[in-house]
Amino acid sequence: MTTTLLRGGNLFVGTSKLRRADLLISAEGILEIADRIDPSDDRVDEVVELNGKAVLPGLIDSHVHLLVDGVDEMQRLHEPYSTPYYRATKVLRETLERGITTVRDAGGADQGLKHALATGLIEGPQVLTAVTILGQTGGHSDGMSPCGVDLSLMPATPGRPSGIVNGPEEMRTRVRELQRAGADVIKICTTGGVLSPSDDPRHSQFAMDEIEMCVREAAVTGLGVMAHAQGPAGVLNAVRGGVRSVEHGIYATDECWDAMLERGTWLVPTLIAPVALLRAIDGGAKVSPTVKQKASDAVTQHMVNVRKAVNAGVRIAMGTDAGVFPHEYSLAELSLMEEAGLEPHEVIEAATISAAELLGLGDRGRIEVGMRADVIVVDGDPFDFDGFADRVLRVFQAGSQRVSREL
């Protein structure tokens, strides 16, 4: 076990003002924070001189799809079945290089990916996963195309049960299947979506008895529910049904934000998703003809409505929906969150402290003694999000250095 002294860094402590301090970390966690820690201290194995560079908690992306890296239906038709699993190893490694040390996979990744990470077979952020996406027939998770070919982003496999569900009794079974498959969270679609071929993001999906059954059955094993929800009726149904987080919220109204405030429901905006999706379509990605129109409608409304959520004080955690667009662009979300009205230090808070709270991970998200040593070193101003990912110079995960660029 290596104990590392990070000397002379500027630490993010939850405010706009950084704290100049030394930091001692190991696999046991953050051991000490002080104005000065003696480098000749017996505990110190390695010293890293930071000369004022910023030190942040490892970032947490609350909404990714690791088994997808950009959506293109032609590509999906011609790609071998197992390619997404191999590609995910690259996506994971590069996600870590961007300073993201924890992610919540909102559908796609199964237990095998977590097992491969846990046993050191591959490197990447720690993954919590929803395994698949539960949705009704013809809903957002139903990839049946008009010609009768199923182009679902996450078809059923031995590790990933089918996500199509109708009626509360079937919902009970599906949630139990996901619990058996090792899900850390249950994901449902309470509205249509941008990428699905045959629905409208403003229409609600699932009836209340289905949503309530999902939340109740998930809670039996301590799991929360995340709801893909874009139109107001479906957002309200999800919130009233007791979900822990609303994902996207593109067309949500003040009534939705009020209901979320009242119940303490989180919003994971994923502002970059429709923006980057449109860019990919313009770049030649092949999708259903309805998708482009849905994505361009979404972009403006999304920013307008999330700005209202920020003003209302809705709790916000950073999530990107990376995978729906190429993962490399994921941290463009930070600038968009600032554009939506969060102060720069609040953006970092949403990507660390708040995301950890949403995910129920009390051991991370803060630079405090006793926390897990997921720590990143960022060159330049950490509150300037332009080119942020390229300025991540070091990444420590549970005290181990995973990424090292010249300081």
Judged by the rule CB under 5 A, the positions of this chain that interact with Zn ion are: 106, 321
Secondary structure (3-state) at 204: strand
**Coarse DSSP helix, strand, coil percentages of the chain, rounded to the nearest 5 percent:** 35, 20, 45
Least distance from C-beta 80 to Zn ion, angstroms? 24
Residues 6+ apart with CB under 8 A from 145: 151, 197, 288
Nearer to Zn ion, 31 or 337 (CB): 337
Alpha-helix residue ranges (DSSP H) falling in 22-141: 73-78, 83-97, 111-118
Nearer to Zn ion, 4 or 141 (CB): 141
Q: Which of 363, 293, 280, 367 is nearest to 324 (CA)?
A: 280
Q: Distance (Å, rounded) from C-alpha 26 to C-alpha 45?
A: 10
CA atoms within 13 A on the CB side of 403: 28
Nearer to Zn ion, 113 or 378 (CB): 113
Least distance from C-beta 319 to Zn ion, angstroms? 8
Q: Distance (Å, rounded) from C-alpha 369 to C-alpha 295?
A: 44
Least distance from C-beta 224 to Zn ion, angstroms? 16
Nearer to Zn ion, 69 or 321 (CB): 321
Q: Is the distance from CB of 263 to CB of 237 less than 8 angstroms?
A: no
Least distance from C-beta 71 to Zn ion, angstroms? 11
Nearer to Zn ion, 153 or 347 (CB): 153
Least distance from C-beta 360 to Zn ion, angstroms? 19
Least distance from C-beta 106 to Zn ion, angstroms? 4
Query: Looking at residue 210, what DSSP letter applies?
Result: H
Least distance from C-beta 142 to Zn ion, angstroms? 15
Nearer to Zn ion, 22 or 321 (CB): 321
Other beta carbons within 10 Å of 158: 8
CA dihedral 341, 317, 403, 113 (to 10 degrees): -150
Nearer to Zn ion, 164 or 367 (CB): 164
Q: Distance (Å, rounded) from C-alpha 171 to C-alpha 174?
A: 5
Nearer to Zn ion, 217 or 321 (CB): 321
Least distance from C-beta 398 to Zn ion, angstroms? 27
Q: Is the distance from CB of 374 to CB of 102 less than 8 angstroms?
A: yes
